[in-house]
Structure 1
Amino acid sequence: ALKPRVHKRRPIGSARRASKRGRDVWVVCETDLEGRITRGTLELLSRGDELATRLGGAMVAIGFDGAVARHAGLLASFGADTVLTLEHPALNSYTPEGAAEAVAKIVSTHAPWGILLGATERGRDWGPRLAARLGLGLTGDAIDIELDSENRMVALKPAFGGNIVAPIYSKTFPQMATVRPGVLELAAPSEAKQAEVRTVRVEVSPPKSRLLKAHSTLDLTLVPLEGAEIVVGIGTGVGGPEGVAKVAAFARTLGAAMCATRRVTDQGWVPRQLQVGLTGKSIDPRLYIAIGVRGAPNHTCGLKRAQTVVAINNDADALIFERANVGLVADWEKVLPALQDAFQRRLR
């Protein structure tokens, strides 16, 4: 197994910052199916802490259920000065209109400098609704957030297949952006940092939608993609669902997560949540093994922070070899069993 990487991370300060109108940074927190704070949330908090310090305001972590309050210590360690839980029976079960209405109710009272959400399934769902309610601009799926000389938000977005990065400014206040998980560096948490925990009851209209049933389309026997140290990526070169199953068995042997190109998810071979690239997720594994992946820029732009890339493809001219540190020009179906056997013997 790979040893965990040692990162040189920016430390979180232990001092608690005072709230100031027009200078506070709000970060909307998300939890996974098991009630844990997502890595994407911790990435947003890490950047939000840096922004709040430069702006001279506080960072406020916002959530909609008790799970966020239960993780107040973790949120504080990543820079939150205040943990704000919005409470109403209609918010116990997620609806996009409920989330948007609840946050909209408190924005005018607190006047934050900016609101940051994850560009996740939920963030993309209700974030634009919040912006519409407030009449605000929203930069979607940003890959970084910076400040200019006038302390305005600069949201960076890839364009032209990831070949350039465009700075996007907002003319409305508070400024809003959704940020892609996996692109921001985690800070070094501070165990000494503490946050004020507040619960605010908001009035929310009866929801127009309700959850009837929830089920996961992900293979829960595989390591989650978020924050994985080893990731095995599949392209259309694996041939179809049978090839996907063989690659998944290989990933289990390595204790790895699995991802895919857009063409693979378009075919329905794996869930859309595993798509990596320009219109998918960004990842930062220590080891990425690409199997049957062509290596088009709209996929490899999601691999910019991958440390070592190994590519297996029978086409010697495949673009993936330009990104790979190690390339194997071979039929993956012949190479993979040998690799799997070698790893099994090594990991015993």
Structure 2
Amino acid sequence: MSLNELRTLGRTGALISPLTLGTLNFGTGTAPTGPADSIRIIKAALDAGITSIDTADIYSQGEAENVVGQAIHGRRDEVFLATKFHGQMGSNPAHAGNSRRWIVRAVENSLRRLDTDRIDLYQAHRPDYNTDLLETITALNDLIRQGKILYYGTSVFSPAQLVEAQWIANTNHLTPPVVDQVPYSLLVRANERDVFPITQQYGVGVLSYGPLDGGWLAGGYRVGGGQPESSRFSAVPGRFDVTAPFNQAKLHAADALGRVAARYGISLIQLAVAFAMNHPAVTSVIIGPRTEEHLTDYLKAADVVLSEAILDEIDDIVAPAVNFLERDAGTVAPHLEYPELRRR
């Protein structure tokens, strides 16, 4: 495997690199990587052979899209450019969601910030339980006809929602979504159970994110090693606490996986990214470097080939199709998250 071995995105015929540059960390304000460094990382990624960039309007409230637009200026045709809508922009709660009213405004804002005349892949960042899915799909089909987007996709849709989206599009003679974006890593494997078989059945490409599971697979989470420093520790209470009882199974798994990587002479980061790239349902793995050094570490994984023996060892540590925590799925359905809905 190498970055030069481009992969077909679902049944679209579009070819993208097996690694996609994610831009969650780029921008201003609370983003860990400022504009100048972000632009350098983006250009370095393109020079290294990455052809796909994934961003979202909500990342740094539009600043990540601004940075991407500046970085790819003059190189637009080299890039498969993906962005997302759904999250609230600014203080107005009406500036969010998957309604036609918001989508037609959000896409114009993203096009302006990205300084481009079209978006290659426009994704619903999350399901919208207050909007009829047919409305969303119809609005996105209209954007395709207008030439403002080429394809559209979803992110962390449930298996039922994925099937519903295909059914709605096909029965209404509309173009269906061609991509789903999901978390997938050595420690987050539940999508192997039902999401991946569905995407493969319908020819939907998969952009997987979180190959390091928020840092759990960066190498610092080891049994007896203490609490690694992380900005996420306080931002997501409990999720990265090595002393929490509900994290003990994950901590021991991360430790065991680190020992597997060391035994085969690779870093845990390389093992983690290569594992995500290895699944046949995954088209491209989204990486989120904060520095050029991080980018270099990620790029090394593109040349790692995992043997059946290594994959068997991984399965012995983390069973296929298992998540340690419900929240690891990327989103929690309202009827599970809110007691007033769950207990009706």
Per the normalisation by structure 2, the TM-score is 0.31
Higher normalized contact order (CA 8 Å, seq sep 6+, divided by chain length): 2
Q: Which has the larger Rg? A: 1
Which is richer in helix?
2
Per the normalisation by structure 1, the TM-score is 0.31
